[in-house]
Each structure stands twice: as C-alpha cells, then as structure tokens.
Structure 1
C-alpha cells in the first residue's frame, strides 16, 4: 500500500526553502530580507528573476505583502506559494504558474553521479553562468559571494572541458531545494537523476524540493519527484 504524502507539509517546506534561497541571493547583493510567519519580503527591489516577496502561509493577505515591498519602482513581483492570491486589483498580472515538487529522502539514487562537481571558484562560476544563460545582465545575478555560503552548492557536470549540465542546491532546515537546472547534450531525465544523486551525497537524509513546469516538470516526475501543489508568480504591470 502506497503511503500518503502530506502535500501541505511539503508545499510549506518548499516555499520556506525557496524564500531562504531568495534571501541568500539578496545577501550576496548586500540586500536584507525579512521573515515572519506570513512571508519573506524585501523592501528593496531584488535582483533580476527573483521576487520581492514569497508567501509562507495560505492565509497571507495581499495588503500585508504590498505594504512590505516597493511597488513604486518598476518590476515588483510576488511569489504566491499557494496559488491563492488575486493581485490583479493592485495592478499585477500572472507571470507564470508552476508546481512545487518533492522527492523523499528515503528514495535513494541507484548509482553515483558521473562528472558532477561543486563549483568553488569565481572562474568556474563564470563558466557556469555562461552556459546557464546567454543574457549578460541575467548572469550577474549569481555572484562569487554565493560560493562561501555553506547553505548553497552550485553544481556542474563536466564532460571533458565542456559543461553539459548544472543546477543550484540550497540547504535549509529539513530539505534541500534544487533550482536553475539546465542541460545541453544530455537528456533532461539524466540531468535530474545525476543532480539529485549529487545532492544526496552532499546532504544525505534530506528530501529534495523545488518547482518546475512543462518539460522539466515531466522530467522531474519521471525521476521520482511528486507534484505537491501549485504556485504563481505575479508581476506588476508597467
């Protein structure tokens, strides 16, 4: 008999880990975020691709969030972790929707991952960001300061001199979050399998969480992740 998954527990764990990861990104840019039971928020505009708020409870009210972020400067965004807010009246629209995913700690990998290593120096990080994105402005999001944060592991797979896959793992209280996974020249399911195996080696005994959509969601499910709940990202309309 298959054990039931407490999806609400893992949505909350994934949202909290993602908020902590956003906070780590902000700290690397010398920005300070604020946590409470309702949400993580930044009073200053966050780096590209990162929200100004992440909700941590389905009971968080829209006006609570809007008071804690800068809605005057262009580009304000909110990660609605439980897909239950309506921010359209405040001038926001849905940027994208996705699914939180979860892989239990006892679902062990079958083999050691080949060629995946932890990025530990700025030069390798620069090579990693170049493969991750061709946009020079977006690449500046990941700064060398992240490499000295012991809760963060920037991971890459090398085939000879070529970086063929990568991801970022973030360790929080009870889980490890995986994000920014990319691959080139290998199958998506292989990238998810190798990345997850590497994370289990770094931090054994922890479930892995994250969020995905479309093809990457399908690949993660194929490798043993379970969708546990929807999320939305809202962005202010210009």
Structure 2
C-alpha cells in the first residue's frame, strides 16, 4: 500500500514535475524548493500554484512564494496535513494517492481501443477536445510544447473508427511513472484504466505506477489493480 514514506514522496514529486511541465508549456515554469514546488505567477487552469513535496512543509513555506492576489490561487497539499483555512483558503477536494507495483508481464489492453503516444500537434488537439468534453473554458490548455517535453507522454486511446475515446498523461521520473488526466469519453473508466495501465506496462516495463484520483475514477483504478493510499487535499483561495 502506498504510504507516507518513500512511495508518496516519489508520487508527490512526480506530480509536481507534471505541474511544472504544464507551466513550462505556458511559458511560466515553477521552482523546486527543498519542501515545496511553487510558481510565483498564476498557473494554468486546474493546476496548483504550489505542491508540497515533504510532510514537513509549512503554510508559510507554501504561501510565501506564490501570488495570492490574482484570482484562482490554489495549493496541493500532498500529505493532507496543512490547514490553510485561517489564510483564506477552502478545501476544493480531497483525493487518494494510488500505487500499482511494477509488473513483469504487461496486462492485455481491451481489443476495441488502440493506445499509442500522441506525436503531433493535430493529434494533441483532437485528444484535448475529447478530454475537455465540451468545456470551452479549457480550450488551449494542452499546448504543442508538451510534445517536446522528454518526461511527458500523452497517450490516446483510439476506437476503430478513428475517434479518440480515452486518454491519459504519463510523467516519467527516476523511480515511478505517474498517470494523470485519465478519461474515457464513453464513461467507461474501467476500460480506460485497463488500457492505460497495459500501455504503461508495455512502454515502461518494470516501473511502478503512481497517481491520485477520487470518486468514480478512484474506484475504477482500484478495480484495475491500483492500491489507494494517503489523502491529499487541494485548497482554493476563497
């Protein structure tokens, strides 16, 4: 089980690396400190302004390096230990960290969907359209610059008719592979997780998988072999 030990530290740093990759794609890279990753400028929509990297991170360390005046300031507390309510923040949501041990033999992906890395800006645009599912406020979030990031791989699940029906973002770090932004456009999250995990095991054999989810996606990931662990919280400025 993923716990507040090496695994969760690796998962938190991996997730911060993905947040930093998204910010760099938008021209606003963050800074990795000893205990906190942070961005002094407002981050892209859905992405935090700070991520705690250790259990010992304090509210002062988290809030001291970010822009608290611009609307939408948020903090991801990877260890679920901070209380930012006195600083004008409310809990936006809670989630659970996930861990799947490395597998020696890749599981079989569902036959009706083909999973492969996204290589072109046009394919990324099609992926992003499927991912945002009609939410025009998120248009342009996934920029072509992400395709040049060596640690980031966007995976698309394509149906036989050519439609992108599932997908995820994979972030590779030294000891783990992180999965985020997983979706299934037909609502079948079990198949999306099964296909994604099979592809990750094939492309990065011998690497454990980490990530975090809540709600239906957490339940689906658990059914597909991921083990839920500690709680993380995302705080949003009121």
- What are the residue-to-residue correspondences of 1:64-143 with 2, within 5 Å? 64-106=61-103, 108-112=105-109, 114=111, 115-133=114-132, 134-143=134-143
Question: Contact 2:103–2:201 at 8 Å: present in 1 too?
Answer: no
Indicate the RMSD between aligned Cα atoms, in angstroms: 1.5
Question: Contact 1:164–1:186 at 8 Å: present in 2 too?
Answer: no
Measure how far apart 1:137 and its partner are.
2.9
Inter-partner Cα distance in structure 2 for 1:126 and 1:39? 32
Inter-partner Cα distance in structure 1 for 2:46 and 2:232? 16
Tell me which residue corresponds to 2:184: 183
Tell me which residue corresponds to 1:48: 45
TM (norm. structure 1) is 0.94
- What are the residue-to-residue correspondences of 1:24-43 with 2, within 5 Å? 24-43=21-40
Inter-partner Cα distance in structure 2 for 1:94 and 1:194? 32
Inter-partner Cα distance in structure 2 for 1:227 and 1:80? 17
Number of aligned pairs? 234
Measure how far apart 1:184 and its partner are.
2.5
Structure 1 residue runs of 5 or longer lacking an equivalent are none
Inter-partner Cα distance in structure 1 for 2:60 and 2:125? 39
Inter-partner Cα distance in structure 2 for 1:36 and 1:66? 13
Inter-partner Cα distance in structure 2 for 1:5 and 1:138? 32
Question: Contact 1:113–1:198 at 8 Å: present in 2 too?
Answer: no
- What secondary structure is seen at the aligned counterpart in 1 of 2:47? coil
Q: Deviations over 1:164-220 (max 9, x none)?
A: 111111111211110111112363212111101111222111111000001110110
Tell me which residue corresponds to 1:208: 209
Question: Contact 1:154–1:166 at 8 Å: present in 2 too?
Answer: yes
1:16 aligns with 2:13: yes
Q: Deviations over 1:54-91 (max 9, x none)?
A: 00111111011111000111111000000000000100
Measure how far apart 1:8 and its partner are.
2.1
Measure how far apart 1:100 and its partner are.
0.5
Question: Contact 2:171–2:178 at 8 Å: present in 1 too?
Answer: yes
Quick one: structure 1 residues 77 and 150, their matched pair in 2 at CA, closer, same or farther if it must change by over 3 Å? same
